[in-house]
Amino acid sequence: MNDATGSARHDITHRTLLTYLDRFAAERPDTVFVVADEVRWTYGEVHDRVRRIAAGLHALGVQRGDVVSLLLASDPIAVPLVLAVNRLGAIWTPVNTDYRGTWLADTLADAGSGVLVVDGAHVGAAAEVLDRSSVHTVVVVDPQSEGGQPVDLGSRRVVSIDELGHDVPDVVPIELRYDDTAAILWTSGTTGRSKGVMQSHNTWIRAALSGADGAATVDGDVMYCCVPMYNSAGWSAMIFRALCTGNTVAIDPQFSVSDFWARIRHYGATQTFTLGAMHMFLWQLPEHADDADNPLRAWTAVPLPDSIRAAFKRRYGIARHQQGYGQSEVMTLITRLDDGSTSWNPGAAGVVQEGLQVRLLDDDDEEVPVGEVGEFCVRPDGPAMIFNGYYNNPQATLAAFRNLWYHTGDLGRVDADGQYHFVDRKADYVRYKGRSISSFDVERTLGGHPAVAQVAAFGVTSAELEHEAELMVSVVLRPGTTATPEQLARFVNDNAPYFVVPRYIDIVDQLPYTPTGKVQKFKLREQGAGPQTWDRQASGFVLDRGAPPERSSS
């Protein structure tokens, strides 16, 4: 696998995203970097676009340290655009394209951007909130709105991205460091207002190279990206993995269950990344004899249940499967590679990524014993290995780095073999009558029922104990199957301790997902138990409090 600047892994002072672009534009200018149907840009062409767009942005007043907001569907133009922003020493921040109204206004206001880049599908939503932002210039990727009509952006300067840099002198690129903030990624906001996670150049590069190593990346690999570009994973796991190895990234505007394999074959993709429910939707497709007849060699599917992992790899002919645990703040924390070289314990997320220290701490910041549940807390061995803090939010940054450890807000445990297991989001850990219940374990148990396609477990306020929560689950059944709430509750009772049998069960048509495949549990909590919700106590369901059957270690 290629690594720009040769000794970059050891001397990273000047290792930036632009370092890699400059190198490969010089060494392999005719190698395709970005492809998306009719778009086919080589490293040389992307390098030229970056210089032109940077010159255009500079002419608009963008300077070092400025933040440029991007409200774009997944589009190949975003690749040279973000690198052009960084060439000026400025910072790019992608905005969730599902945001509207107050959420969009708050995000733009928090970013403090003077320049917004927006496409035609989202310019209308942007126009409605620009008066609540500091945006003075709008760069449009498509001058027409989704409805085909021009949108009134008031007195703001409006520029087409195709016009940026024409008849404008080139600018001398800013000297960058590996620890300069390159981007701000916004947290999902599922537990409160979104926070801006400041990502350095080295943070991106570290995650990209780690993933490339795990995928055994070679020249000629093609990374297929179909996750939204406001998500860290699309950049680190696909786009920047291609950039840092001198390979190609294929970009589609969205994930499609029905078209996924056709698109993989269309691009000749050898690596891909899917998150949350994406690969489970693919797994639920009818099986075909030619499922393994595809060019994919390495797949990062996060998370992939133990119960189907071997069959999943076999069905699709995948030699190397990667997964693990991380977040925008620490993009690569725990890693697991299933290539036959390691014997993983059931449910293991993996081992600690090189260069990081991990402790599992209790609420008093004391380390918990092996096998006990604690919060993942991180300390890097070197600078710029995790995020640079929360943008314009020193209070949140200080709180997160309590006692010199970054507290992730996620719970886990480590087994006697040193393998780490993700347990739950701390906010999703259900506590009731002195017991702590992992929603993750409940979901894994119910997911073993042959009729269950998707499940979300969460806590709802207990009517009897104000400061505790009752366990509730929302379940989507597989097409053509049936199961009653009583049958599902009995299945849990037969396969897990009695105290994790849900109090409430809803059988629903669909779960609320984010575009990145995460269940929006806050919506389910807000909805709570309704008139049609099955109530274990009201139904007279009798719990079997005997010991559950022993689990197989296979």
Q: Does position 23 have pLDDT exceeding 70, yes or no?
A: yes
Domain boundaries, the chain: 17-23+37-196, 213-381+403-425, 429-539
Q: What per-residue confidence (pLDDT) applies to 551?
A: 39
- Please state the rounded mean pLDDT for residues 250-268: 96
Q: Report the CATH number of the 429-539 domain.
A: 3.30.300.30
pLDDT tens column, 216-239:
999 999 999 999 898 899 999 999
102-125 in b/e form (b: 16+ CB < 10 A) is ebbbbbbebbbbbbbbbbbbbbbb
Average the pLDDT over 349-361 and give the result: 96
Four-residue CA torsion sign, 138, 142, 145, 149: positive
Output the CA angle 299-300-302, nearest 5 degrees: 135
Is 70 exceeded by the pLDDT of residue 550? Answer: no
User: What is the distance between the alpha carbons of residues 386 and 382, in angstroms, rounded to a whole number?
Assistant: 9
- pLDDT, the chain, mean: 90
pLDDT interval class at 426 (50, 70, 90): confident
DSSP calls for 244-303? HHT-EEEE-SS--TTTHHHHHHHHT--EEEEETTHHHHHHTSPP-TTTT-S---EEEEES
- Tens of pLDDT along 266-320? 999 999 999 877 898 999 999 999 999 999 999 999 888 888 999 999 999 999 9
Query: In the sheet where 469-477 sits, what is the strand order?
Result: 452-461, 469-477, 504-507, 534-535
Q: Which fold has domain 17-23+37-196?
A: Rossmann fold (3.40.50)
Query: What does the pLDDT read at residue 499?
Result: 83
In the chain, the N- to C-terminal Cα span, in Å, equals: 35
Distances (CA, A) of 327 to 276, 299, 302: 13, 19, 12
Between strands 406-414 and 374-380, the pairing is antiparallel
Give the Å distances, CA to CA, from 458 to 373, 425, 442, 516, 520.
18, 11, 9, 19, 11
Lowest mean pLDDT among 95-99, 191-195, 316-320, 475-479: 191-195
Q: Which residue has the tokens 């199961």?
A: 483
Residue 244 CA neighbour count, 13 Å, CB half: 27
Number of H helices, E strands in the chain: 16, 26
Question: What is the reported pLDDT for 148?
Answer: 56
Asked whether this chain's domains 17-23+37-196 and 213-381+403-425 adopt the same fold, the reply is yes
What confidence score (pLDDT) does residue 42 get? Answer: 98
In this prediction, residue 3 carries a pLDDT of 47
Q: How many CB atoms lie within 10 A of CB 286?
A: 5
* pLDDT of 8: 41
SS3 track for 402-422: HHHCEEEEEEEEECCCCCEEE
Q: Look up tokens 């010089």; give the residue.
A: 26
Token pair recorded at residue 8:
């970059």
Distance CA 377, CA 407 (A): 5
CATH placement of domain 213-381+403-425 = 3.40.50.12780
Please report the pLDDT score of residue 193 as a whole number: 65
Alpha-carbon dihedral angle through residues 146, 52, 234, 140, given to the nearest 10 degrees: -20
* Residue at token pair 């400041």: 198
Scan for tokens 């940054």, then name that residue: 397
Q: Quick one: DSSP state of residue 49? A: H
Instruction: Name the amino acid, one letter, at 355.
Output: G
For residue range 172-216, list pLDDT tens digits in order: 888 999 999 999 999 865 445 678 999 999 999 999 999 999 999
487-533 pLDDT, tens per residue? 999 999 988 878 889 999 999 999 987 655 678 888 898 899 999 99
pLDDT-derived band at 102, boundaries 50, 70, 90:
confident
Instruction: Give the pLDDT confidence score for residue 9 in this predicted structure.
Output: 45
For residue 520, give the amino acid letter: Q
Whether the link from the prior residue into 150 is cis, omega within 30° of 0, is no
Tell which wins on pLDDT, 119 or 551. 119
pTM exceeding 0.85: no
Return the exposure string of 307-334: e unless at least 16 CB atoms fall within 10 Å of the residue's CB, then b. eebeebbeebebebbbbbbbbbbbbbbb
Q: Report pLDDT for 434.
A: 58
Tokens for 171, please give them: 């600018």
Determine contact, residues 41/50, Cβ cutoff 8 Å.
no
